[in-house]
Amino acid sequence: KEGLFRVDTQTGEANLIVEHHFVGVPGLEISPDGNKIFYTAVPGSGIPDGESAYDVRHFVYDLQSGSEQELTRPGNEPLVPLALSPDGNQLAYVSFENKKPIVYVQTLSTRERRAVASFKGSNSAPAWSPDGRTIAFVTGPAVPRSRDCSCSIAVVNVDGTNQHKLTPDYFDAIQ
């Protein structure tokens, strides 16, 4: 079976807690209190007629109640793995709405979401600072110029202000 399993570390017994047909689970976070699992599910994929057909969604599974809730699904646009804020109240993720990868933050209690980082080209791999005030992410060209990553590490405040690169673009730095 495919899905999420809870494994007893003492006995090694695995119990299925969420069953989905996954192509993969590219993101998984556990809430700070240990009661919820946030994950990215990819129930199916394919590339008919050259178009992306990913049906990517973010979910939360409550370990206490056994309930599952869908958190994000802005419409069959790929969502890159999620990152849960240190306090467990917000998600950061990348969505390709309008065919451009942009870092979004979603408040879990209200489901309100906002774009916070959108350098030209690619924006990916959001990661929270320990204090939850900033998000680091990788930015680079939409199409890499060589086999080497011509990417930079950038940061942005969680409210979307003060977006800036911490490192120079690799490709530009070696020329």
Measured between its terminal Cα atoms, the distance across the chain in Å is: 50
Q: pLDDT-derived band of residue 106, with 50, 70 and 90 as boundaries?
A: very high
pLDDT, average across residues 19-44:
74
pLDDT, average across residues 134-140:
90
pTM for the complete prediction? 0.77
Q: Closest by alpha carbon to 25, among 36, 37, 41?
A: 41
Count how many residues are written for the chain.
175
